Amino acid sequence: MTTPEIIHPRALVDPKVTLGPGVRVGAFSIIGPEVTLGAGVEIGHHVVLEGRVVLEPRVKVGHGAVIGGEPQDLKFKPGTPSGVKIGAETVIREYVTIHRATQPEGWTEIGARCLIMALSHIAHDCRVGNGVIIINYAGITGHCQIGDHATIGGYTGIVPFVRVGAYAYMGGCGKIAADLPPFMLADGTPATVRGVNVIGLRRAGIAAPDRRALQEAHRLLYRGGLSPGKALERIRAELPANPLVEQLIQFVASSRRGICPPPDGWRDSAASGDATEDAERERVI
């Protein structure tokens, strides 16, 4: 038996909206004509969904959230057909803002089973993976990519175009100005890598041998006194083949902004590939 949707009589839901079974919409929420709500989606009070917004089944949106608003980008042209996609069972808490993409047919994408805590912001054209946690008041600026199961601490800001790798953990009240490699634990302003996210990996069921392999790779990358490029050569030469270590290698090797440094900086800064300041000047959003 199909569960009927429940729309509060004081909500404004456009008749062109696509509603799945069991959808709930709270009082004073406004749902635009290009919105698609999957089965079991729950929308709180005073929520605004505008533009192209696709919420997959069982997404929950807290009171006062605004999803699909125009991007805060001077290059954006009003009327551009773009939108926001949010994966199944993701929870968007109170007063979160998520802006749609800047380019025609583009999408700002949030994966499945994420938790976006209250008053956080995700800007245009971001790609957020599955199982990501973004803690209160975090600001994710335009074109950022966050890998699966990463955590971004409260009050932390991320510079545009930065990547955060899978299972990385960034502490609160920080600034990520360069790519944060997967599996690493970082903190500070600007962020520096302090170690491997061992607790997060253990909770995720990553086996002990894989955790030890990542710790050894971290030692060579961040404590060997080498630039990232030379450290990768040592990792390839000295460590046994491991898929998680290979993921780390590929992330670092493909970085265009440079990676977050160790607390004391790179010994060979000229070879570190950290062009963060130049890139930040060139890519102002």
Out of 46, 99, 121, 124, pick the active-site residue: 124
Domain residues for the domain of 61 are 6-197
75 neighbors 102 (Cβ within 8 angstroms): yes
39 and 168 within one domain: yes
110 and 218 within one domain: no
Q: What distance in Å separates the CA atoms of residue 275 and residue 75, rounded to the nearest whole number? A: 24
Residue 152 has pLDDT above 70, yes or no: yes
- Where is 249: in which H helix or E strand? helix 243-253
pLDDT at 114: 99
Q: How confident is the model at residue 234 (pLDDT cuts 50, 70, 90)?
A: very high
Residue 1 lies in a domain: no
Last residue of a domain, one of 140, 175, 197: 197
Residue 183 has pLDDT above 90, yes or no: yes
Last residue of a domain, one of 197, 214, 244: 197
pLDDT at 279: 43
Residue 271 has pLDDT above 70, yes or no: no
Mean pLDDT of the chain: 94
Q: How confident is the model at residue 4 (pLDDT cuts 50, 70, 90)?
A: confident
169 and 128 within one domain: yes
Mean of pLDDT values over 145-155: 98
CATH number, domain containing residue 241 = 1.20.1180.10
251 and 119 within one domain: no
Out of 44, 142, 258, 273, pick the active-site residue: 142
Out of 62, 99, 111, 125, pick the active-site residue: 125
227 and 159 within one domain: no
180 and 84 within one domain: yes
281, 67, 71, 280: which is closest to 175 by C-alpha? 280
DSSP secondary structure string for all residues of 176-226: E-SBB-TTEEEETTTTEEEEE-HHHHHHTT--HHHHHHHHHHHHHHHSSS-
241 and 188 within one domain: no
Reply yes or no on whether 124 is catalytic.
Answer: yes
Structural domains in the chain (count): 2
Last residue of a domain, one of 197, 219, 239: 197
Residue 28 has pLDDT above 80, yes or no: yes
